[in-house]
Structure formats: structure tokens, C-alpha cells
Amino acid sequence: MYQKTSALVLSAMKYADNSLIVRCFTREYGGCSYLLKGILKPSKSALKVGLFQPLAQLALVATYKEGALSYIKEAKVIHPYSTLHTHPYKSVVTIFLSEVCAQICQPDTPDVPLFDFLSEQLHHLDTTDYNPHFHLKFLLSLTRLLGFYPDTTHDHLPYFNIEEGVFTATENTPHHIAGHTLSLLTTLLHTPFGELNTLKSRHEDRNALLVQLLKYYQWHYPNFKEIKSLEVLQQVVSY
């Protein structure tokens, strides 16, 4: 039986000679995998491969069966992107965010607040000028939904303990953030997305904070793996 659902595309992998397996995060069902038979054949499929770009927001008419491959009958774009896949920097950020989302959007586990957050912030990324702090603010804000947002009670202190997620007065663990990187972290914690354009920072500090935030995810989110697009993103954030 076919159901209607909103979806974010997480990844697409070639299957056999002319098919794709597409992973999506749906608003109603959580993570789902779809087999798109024959979509890579010229003019043979009612679905077009261009619909399934990273983090595309789609309206689907599709089957759903927990733990099994599903099938899409119809797909159309809900929010057409103007810059997300064409801007030279935003496109790299989008690939990075799709890798992160693929790890935290769990199969068959609906999470409406998470879906709405992702949809809203992708719209923001698409419709505003590129900002080299966006992905950092995204990672920080996402931790609130995942349950390990930093405790800012003592954010005037000189160290941030990655293991505990708290600011401390002493360097009580090798896994900590300090110095200029800490200053950027504290600033981002108190800066809304809409005010990121007011920030200025060195690319060395942005890269350092990015590495530390990914370590923070690895400490607090089960089985969080290395991000393959990290090196490319680090080159982009030097802009």
C-alpha cells in the first residue's frame, strides 16, 4: 500500500546496472531505504535521477515496510533549492551535512522535531549568503535535539571538556577545547543562525573547532564514524 510522506534524501548508491538504492529520512517513518528499479536507464523510468540529490526535500508516494526495502511510485520536489547544489561552497557543505545526517537519522525511527529542524536549516542555507560558520552552528544546534548540547552554565571558564560536555576551570582531560577555538565555540553557542553574518574568525580556528566538534559527536553519539568529506570541507572553510 502506498503512503504519502515528506522526505530528505540522505544518500544514493548504484545497484545492479541501472538501479539505485536511495536512503531517505522521512517525516512519518524515520529512515527508509528505497529501491529505484531502472532509474538509470534513459527515459525508462517515471522517476528522474536528478530528484535524488543530497538533502533534496521531496514529497513521496511510496510503500513502507519496517526493516525492508520500499518502493517509490511518485516523487516531486517540495522546496526547490536555488543555490544548495550549485554554489561552489554550499555544495560541499551540503555533502558534509548529508554524511552527518545519514549517521544520525535512524532507520524506522520517526523524529518530527529533527526532521523540521533539518528542513528549516537547509532552507536557511539555501536562501542566505554563504557563511563559513554555518556548518559549525548546525552541528552545535543539532546536539540539542540529539541530547548532548553543551552545558553553558560556566561558559566563562577557560576549558571545554569534550567527554563531559561542560566548561571547566582546569585542563582535567586531554580531550578539551581551549584558546581561540574555545572563544569561537562560546561565540557560536550564543549566536543565532540569523546573526552568523556578524561573526569574523580565522579559518584555522574554524577548522580546529570542526575537528573538535566531530570528536564531541564521537564521544556522545553511538557509532558515529569519520566523515569522508571532512578534508574537502576544511579547504572550503578557509574562504
- Predicted local confidence at residue 233, as pLDDT: 92
For 29-68, the pLDDT digits (tens) are 999 999 999 999 877 677 999 999 999 999 999 999 999 9
- Predicted local confidence at residue 44, as pLDDT: 64
Q: Is the pLDDT of residue 239 over 70?
A: no
Question: How far from chain centre, in Å, is Cα 130?
Answer: 16
Q: Could you give the domains of the chain?
A: 2-77 (2.40.50.140), 131-236 (no CATH)
- Predicted local confidence at residue 171, as pLDDT: 92
For 114-168, the pLDDT digits (tens) are 999 999 999 999 999 999 999 999 999 999 999 999 999 999 999 999 999 999 9
Report percent pLDDT > 90 for the chain: 91
Question: Cell 557563511 maps to which residue?
Answer: 131
- Predicted local confidence at residue 183, as pLDDT: 98
pTM higher than 0.85: yes
